[in-house]
Every structure is written in C-alpha cells, then in structure tokens.
Homo-oligomer: A and B are copies of this chain.
Amino acid sequence: MKRLWDVVGMPGALKPYHIDTLKHIALRGGAKDFVSMSSREFGEALGVSQQSASQRILELLNEGLIQRDLATRRQRVKISAKGLEALQREYADYLRIFETRDRMAITGKAMSGLGEGAFYMKQKGYKDQFRRKLGFEPYEGTLNLKVSGADLSKLMILHGERGTPIDGFEAGGRTFGGAKVFKARLKGVDCAVILPIRTHHTDVLEVISKEFLRAKFNIVDGDAVELHMDL
C-alpha cells in the first residue's frame, strides 16, 4: 500500500528527516557555500551511520535540494535554491510559533512591475471590495517590493495567515482569482499587501494604497522600504 506521502505528493513537503538533514548542512554553512563533509563525520553529527549519511546525501541530491562537488576526496555540498526554500518554510513555521504577534515588519526593495498591478486595480470587481474591506479605494497601481534573505520567511508566514479575503469574480469573459489582503502601514501611510490565493511562488510583495506611494516618498527602484503589517 502506498503511503499518504506518496499519494498526496505534497509539493515541497519533504519528509521530516530530509529537512533535518538539510538543516544540519545549513548549520555547517552549506546554505551559502559548498562545505566539505565526509559521510562519516556528517553521520556522527546527524546521529546516524556513515552509510545512512551517504544515502541521505544521495536522496537530497535526487530531490534537487542540494548540489554536490565530488571532484576531490571529501565531497563538498551546497544547498540549492529549492532546498533553501524548504528550510525557509520550516523557519517560517517556527516564527509563527514563537513570534506570535499581531504585527510584523518586513523589508523589501522597490522594483518596477510590468503594469499588471495597475490592470487588476482597475477592475471594478476588485475596487469595490477594496473600498468595502479596506476603507479606501486604491491608487491605480501597485508598489512592488522584492523580498530577500531572512524576510522571505516572513512572507511565508503571510501565506499561512488568513488575512482579509478578496473574492474572485468574472468580467469581460475572463476569470479574476481570489486574493487576501493585509492592512499595513508604509512610513505611517495606510496601505495593504495583496496576495493572490492561487499563490505561485514569488518573492514579490504587492502594496496598494490610496496614495501614489512612489511619488509621495520619492521611492525609486532599489530603495529599501519597510512595511508594518497587521495579521
């Protein structure tokens, strides 16, 4: 009989011991660079045999969670982007457990979008809901913040929170998906973060406000902007 793990597939939900292995690699610095680790020594750190450590490395490789350099005698291992993402998800869980606050600060770098934000903001189906649920009608356009580093985990917390739901709708023959918003403040100005429900992995935060934030604060691409959100 197949296990639920296999059946469900659970994208990104690795087995606990894989996460644990990944974590130990990260603790040795494997999140940033290749770190040299023999399977024996690594096994000791993990509390398993040399053979198991070797096997786990192979499994992580197959899952694409790490890269390996086996040119020299001692293998050198580095956590891949996918692996780092898995660790950040895990970290986000612990943040939710221990840093339970109703507010959260997150920092991102301003960046130009492709104008899709403005397109969506123009839709009546969204505008009405924003007015009703946020108490303001947003400026037509969004401020995109690119989040990186440890703050990515905070973004993942957001994905796990309920927020204020924005219903999807149909208009002009196409479907507009649901989303959730979180009230926030940017330099004291009321605004909101909007997250699509069908959440493709992204490291970009879309901020809406009734004011044209870029102009008001003279924000140019690359500027670091701090956002204070309500959960």
Contacts from A to B (Cβ < 8 Å): 3-5, 8, 10, 13, 15-17, 19-20, 23, 26-27, 31, 43, 47-49, 87-88, 90-91, 93-94, 96-99, 149-150, 153
Contacts and interface: CB of A to CB of B under 8 A. Distances in A.
Given A16-B17, A17-B16, A97 B5 contact: no
Q: Which of the listed residues A47, A88, A96 has the most CB atoms from chain B within 10 Å of its own CB?
A: A47
B150 A27 contact: no
A201 B16 CA distance: 26
A53 to B, nearest CB: 10
Contacts of A16: 16-17, 19-20
A17 B153 CA distance: 22
Contacts of A93: 23, 27
Given A16-B20, A23-B93, A93-B23, A5 B47 contact: yes
A94 B26 CA distance: 9
A94 B23 CA distance: 8
B97 A23 contact: yes
A146 to B, nearest CB: 18
Contact of A150 (B8, B19, B98): B98
Q: Which of the listed residues A19, A98, A99 has the most CB atoms from chain B within 10 Å of its own CB?
A: A98
A47 B91 contact: no
Contacts of A98: 87-88, 91, 149-150, 153
Nearest to A19: B16
A61 to B, nearest CB: 19
Contacts of A5: 47-48
Given A4-B47, A20-B16, A47-B10, A91 B87 contact: no
A13 B45 CA distance: 11
A96 B20 contact: no
